[in-house]
Amino acid sequence: MRLLFTSVSVIAAAVSAAAAEWKNWEGGVVAHPVALVTPTSEDEIVQIVNAVSTQNLTLKLVGAGHSWSPIAAPDGGGALMSLDSYNSVVSVDREKMQITVQGGMRLYELNEILDEFGWALPQLGAVSVQSVAGATQTATHGTGRELGTISEAIVSLSLIAANGTVITASPEVNPELFAAARVGLGALGVVSTLTFQAVPKYYLERSLVVNYDVEELLEKVPALYEQFPRMQFVVQPFRQLSGMVIAYTEIDEAVVQNIRRCRPEEEEEEEEVQKVLNGTAGEAEEEDDPMELAAEALAQELARNLTLERRAERRKEWAVLSDTRISRVYRSTCADASFKAMSSARAGSSKFTEMELFFPVEKSLDAFKEFIQRIWSLSDLHRNYVRVQVMMRYVSADPVSYMSPEYERTTGVISLIVSGTRAGPGDLREFQLWSAVLQSIGEKYGARFHWGKKYIISPYTKFYLSLVYPKLDEFLQIREDMDPKGIFLNQHLKEMFLL
């Protein structure tokens, strides 16, 4: 962004200024807002909203831009608001373990602050570079069959409506607005402050099994789901021995001292996991002697000086994966405070493009298998130099948030990831092919979109959304009440909801 407008008095002049360029993190979404405004206080946000409304502009909010969809992109005649300078702690309630922060605070900043109090968020996604407002407006999640999205930790929030009014919403105050705004898609107003319910600090060990036969792995998923509360798995459909299972096990702090810590500077760990994802680890291990690999894995485990009791626990935990395929390799990659084990404060240097659909959990494995079979049946269309990954995670039901993909149902989340480069997003042709296949399967099973990731919009979209989101009409009515002029809309939202 070349133009920074930090004062509301320049908005009018900015309308005639040369358009600046804004891109999301992977470069696949590009916009040319007439202005970028960066308020430092709630009063300034109110002034900006009033000025935008008076001038009949539109206004979109952006945090880290870590979305693949254009949900936060301003239209050509609209302004863009960054809350990066509105990112402080507002209050802390030690008795209730609640913290109120401004919307521009990044998740990694919130994690560090909570850690100082001996607290943590119950759930996090793979990265924590997003703003707290942006991450929660799109229902960012991690994995855990009994864990919800980050939005579910919100117990109260304040919104600035299109008329400049500051409105508080919680289960007790404006409960219907609260149900709509916890996952508000940026369509209801400016999320000014958020109050999060924390939990006591806890520790996780991150473990993985690599080099798994894809079909064999899929047969073991039901047992894995029951065995591990926090579990996900990844396959590369064009590589038979590409299955990888990742599990997060809660452990005592004393045990953490005997396992390598999840430090951001450990590039070696990141490279090891990436080798698994891109298939190079599988190639190397297939060429080596399986017995040597097994012996090496055991030696690495013993070298960590874990207690005999802990080693026995580990063997029992992973017994569900044991069989005659010795070439499989188990690794305990690290253990640390939950936010360090689950999430990275860096977006990563290599870009990729992603679609993510949320299936009813009881249908998710069938949908995953069908997707893999459809990919295999069309494998002649695949470009061998493009890396394609398919991942499954799990998220529990959200009983409150109208537009959460988990609203009133526990989900299995299928992600399609087409890897790109440091310079740009994943191969467009490859992504369009497999995303069309996944979305067709998703519609068959009643899946819901991830609002911050890629999905295909058509004139049929609103009708489909009305089938899978039972509170869609209520949400759209609240949106109309909060923003009758549509200043918080963009073309993407208008097309999706036929507004």
CA distance 497 to 24: 22
Strand segments, DSSP code E, in 364-473 are 388-395, 411-419, 448-449
458 has a pLDDT exceeding 60: yes
- Place 15 in a pLDDT band, splitting at 50, 70 and 90: very low
pLDDT for 479 equals 98
Chain centre distance of CA 295: 37
In a domain, 211, yes or no: yes
Q: How many CB atoms lie within 10 A of CB 207?
A: 22
Least confident of 57-61, 143-147, 329-333, 430-434: 329-333
Over residues 396-412, the pLDDT tens digits come to 999 999 999 999 999 99
Q: Do both 235 and 271 map to the same domain?
A: yes
pLDDT for 304 equals 45
303 has a pLDDT exceeding 50: no
SS3 annotation, 322-377: CCCCCCCEEEEEEEEEHHHHHCECCCCCCCEEEEEEEEEHHHHHHHHHHHHHHHHH
Q: Do both 187 and 219 map to the same domain?
A: no
| Per-position b or e across 337-359, b if 16+ CB within 10 A of its CB | bbbbbbbbbebeeebbbbbbbbb
126 has a pLDDT exceeding 60: yes
Q: How many CB atoms lie within 10 A of CB 239?
A: 16
Which of 200, 234, 265 is the last residue in one of the domains? 200
Q: Do both 16 and 108 map to the same domain?
A: no
- Place 286 in a pLDDT band, splitting at 50, 70 and 90: very low
Q: 473: burial class by Cβ within 10 Å (0-12, 13-18, 19+)?
A: exposed
Q: Do both 331 and 236 map to the same domain?
A: yes
Q: Is 169 helix (H, G, I), strand (E, B) or coil?
A: strand
Helix (H) or strand (E) holding 74: none
Q: Is 22 helix (H, G, I), strand (E, B) or coil?
A: strand
Q: How many CB atoms lie within 10 A of CB 258?
A: 13
Over residues 222-272, the pLDDT tens digits come to 999 998 999 999 999 998 778 889 999 999 998 888 788 886 533 444 454
Q: Do both 252 and 329 map to the same domain?
A: yes
Q: Please count the residues of the chain.
A: 499
Averaged confidence pLDDT in the chain: 85
Which of 31, 64, 82 is the last residue in one of the domains? 82
Q: Do both 98 and 41 map to the same domain?
A: no
Over residues 81-111, the pLDDT tens digits come to 999 999 999 999 999 999 999 999 999 999 9
CA distance 310 to 335: 14
- Place 309 in a pLDDT band, splitting at 50, 70 and 90: low
In a domain, 383, yes or no: yes
Residues with Cβ < 8 Å from 237, sequence gap 6 or more?
Answer: 214, 372, 375, 376, 388, 390
Beta-strand pair 230-235/243-251: antiparallel
In a domain, 165, yes or no: yes
> Of all residues in the chain, what percent carry a pLDDT higher than 90?
65
Which of 184, 200, 216 is the last residue in one of the domains? 200
Residues with Cβ < 8 Å from 406, sequence gap 6 or more?
Answer: 139, 141, 148, 149, 358, 395, 396, 397, 398
Please report where in the chains the tokens 């304040």 appear, as a residue: 158
Q: Do both 210 and 313 map to the same domain?
A: yes
CATH of the domain at 158: 3.30.465.10
Q: Do both 261 and 311 map to the same domain?
A: yes
pLDDT for 7 equals 47
In a domain, 254, yes or no: yes
CATH of the domain at 12: 3.30.43.10
In a domain, 468, yes or no: no
Tell me how many domains the chain contains. Answer: 4
- φ and ψ of 140, to 5 deg: -60, 145
Amino acid 316 reads K
Q: Do both 147 and 248 map to the same domain?
A: no
- Place 211 in a pLDDT band, splitting at 50, 70 and 90: confident
In a domain, 488, yes or no: no
CATH of the domain at 362: 3.30.70.2520
In a domain, 3, yes or no: no
In a domain, 416, yes or no: yes
Q: Do both 332 and 220 map to the same domain?
A: yes
Evaluate if pTM is beyond 0.75: yes
Q: Do both 235 and 334 map to the same domain?
A: yes
Domain hosting 156: range is 89-200
Q: Do both 325 and 356 map to the same domain?
A: no
Please report where in the chains the tokens 């893999």 appear, as a residue: 372
